[in-house]
Amino acid sequence: VFSASQDFDFFYFVQQWPGSYCDTKQSCCYPITGKPASNFGIHGLWPNRNNGSYPSNCDSSNPFDASKISDLRSEMQSEWPTLSCPNNDGLTFWGHEWDKHGTCSESVLNQHDYFAKTLSLKDQINLLHALESAGIQPNGEKYSLSSIKSAIIGASGLTPWIQCNNDSSGNSQLYQIYLCVDSSASDFIECPVFPYGHCDSSIEFPSF
Ligand code: 5GP
Ligand code: 5GP
Ligand code: 5GP
């Protein structure tokens, strides 16, 4: 059933490599709960349209309420850690993600389920394992963009989008991995449209 208020076609499920958030000119701060694991962390689950546009900040009357995700708190801290400064527990990051993106899918997922579904998506595909199994390790070496994409396609059957940023010396590096999910956030799908952005043909995978 297509709800009149559902103004999107699919989700981007976006994970970030912490080493690439932290080794930029801007640097980072660890959460007050401690340094996150050397693993991909969730950035967000973003409603998107097939034409590439996306809604944002859809319902200021339904702001983030930490009490609605108290049962998810410890899993959020390990799987969705914040790296922004100043050091904090992550509520600011999660609240930003709900207010900006989550409210645009509230006809499909309430606040609790938005976060619970996102955590379960991360559980379903282990990106770091997929890369390491193909010999692609977070050790500061460079790997071809095509080998990174092939490793993820091989492990998941899904074509990812790789977003790069630059380390403090200007090297192009693996920053975020986008996968696509159907509009009920139940199943991974092939992306209807990819984002924009440049990576060099060979990119660094920094340690963390
Ligand atoms: P950036 O410009 O750093 O890539 O993205 C800034 C912010 O814009 C992201 O954190 C996200 O909130 C939003 N954003 C960027 N690209 C997309 C997109 O393709 N789809 C959606 N839904 N949001 C995006
Ligand atoms: P977006 O708007 O791109 O979905 O989310 C980016 C916002 O979340 C920015 O305001 C950024 O400061 C904040 N933020 C907090 N923690 C993190 C983090 O660990 N990674 C990223 N990319 N943004 C974070
Ligand atoms: P192709 O369609 O031949 O794979 O790629 C066309 C162009 O898009 C090439 O310049 C390639 O580097 C770029 N490209 C392909 N996949 C990705 C990706 O996942 N991320 C980014 N940033 N660029 C990509």
Amino acid 4: pLDDT: 53
Per-10-residue mean pLDDT, the chain, length 208: 74 98 95 97 98 98 98 98 97 98 97 98 98 98 98 98 97 98 97 97 98
Beta strand ranges found along 31-186 (DSSP E): 41-48, 142-144, 161-166, 172-182
Amino acid 6: pLDDT: 85
| CA–CA dist 47, 119 (Å, integer) | 16
Pocket mutation for ligand 3, best pick of 15, 17, 156, 162 (most atoms within 8 Å of C-beta): 162
Helices 111-124 and 91-100 cross at an angle (nearest 10°) of 110
Phi and psi of 55, rounded to 5°? -80, 155
- 110-135 pLDDT tens trace: 999 999 999 999 999 999 999 999 99
Q: Is the pTM of this model over 0.90?
A: yes
Amino acid 27: pLDDT: 86
- 28-56 pLDDT tens trace: 999 999 999 999 999 999 999 999 999 99
* 144 Cβ inside 6 Å of ligand 3: no
Report ipTM for this prediction. 0.94
* Known active-site residue 190: no
Angle at 176 between CA 120 and CA 140, to 5 degrees: 115
* Known active-site residue 96: no
* 199 Cβ inside 6 Å of ligand 3: yes
